Chains A and B, each alone.
Chain A
């Protein structure tokens, strides 16, 4: 789909000034990573216990909400997954919203980035499941509840686990790419005011997609880690 490759200002500068030929989404993803890390490092010096500012209260409520959702979905051991889940959520949220800023394009618009995030989630929840239950009991869950059913349960379980990667990545990619495509088409027809409602909807959709991605990650983590409790 060559006609959908668009160049943001940053990758254009990198190409013309530094002669670095990287695809658009890689440059934007590195920019998002640098932006988030820089913001975190800057904010660390401004945290105060007695006199919290507004930004600190907002971020604290965000982290508190994440921890609450983790403990509700995964169980009492959920707190340890906050690092990955929070990072993925913030990264995907910032990547989605970056596409609406002029002169930037969103890294989630290319299929490669959501597949990367989905693979990270897949490997992480399997790894945590094996770590929590041991290799043997974790793979015995693929055989299902009764032993004679194992012959049909095993391919179904394997396919459903592999399809989780596919569904996570295509859901994120399709929503963000579709929204940007509609903005592009509307903008090429009537570039004046008409794309704006679609961009507003794009803000809402970006938030929702990032939220659903983390929500599904937490559900999969809960299913992998806490399955010993039945």
Chain B
């Protein structure tokens, strides 16, 4: 296909995909306090545990990076780059648990 035909197909496809449906949340019945007690405890505890272990792992990464920079200051851009990449990847594991904790605490499971 020519480039122009391909471009036309993609632009029309994008225009048609703009008609996105609006998702409406259903009605909320009573979310009993019994279940909600356990939901709050579970959500808070799992996030606290993940944050603690994540902070420990990030502290080890930062201390290793500081050692590396102090031993070899000329390599500091590469070390800094590797440090930032590693920190973001470790932090993303804590973010996964954060999203799960949000869905435990705030989503009303089992309610029509």
Contact = CB atoms under 8 A, between A and B. Distances in A.
Nearest to B17: A116
B22 interface: yes
B22 A22 contact: yes
Contacts of A61: none
A: contact size bracket: 20 to 34
A208 B99 contact: no
Interface residues of B, number: 18
Contacts, number: 43
Nearest to B97: A174
A184 B95 CA distance: 18
Contacts of A170: 92, 95-96, 99
Nearest to B21: A23
Interface string A157-175: 0000000000100110111
Interface in B29-78: none
Interface in A187-209: 208-209
A171 B22 contact: no
B99 A2 contact: no
B109 to A, nearest CB: 12
Contacts of A1: 102, 106-107
A3 B91 CA distance: 26
A60 B25 CA distance: 46
B81 to A, nearest CB: 9
A170 B20 CA distance: 21
A82 interface: no
Interface in A25-80: 26, 30
B95 A171 contact: yes
B98 A178 contact: yes
Interface of B: 18, 20, 22-23, 25, 84-85, 88-89, 91-92, 95-96, 98-99, 102, 106-107
Given A22-B22, A23-B22, 12 more contacts: A3-B106, A21-B22, A23-B20, A23-B23, A170-B95, A171-B95, A171-B96, A174-B92, A174-B98, A178-B95, A208-B84, A215-B85
12 contacts: A1-B102, A1-B107, A2-B25, A21-B22, A26-B20, A167-B96, A170-B92, A174-B96, A175-B91, A175-B95, A208-B84, A208-B88
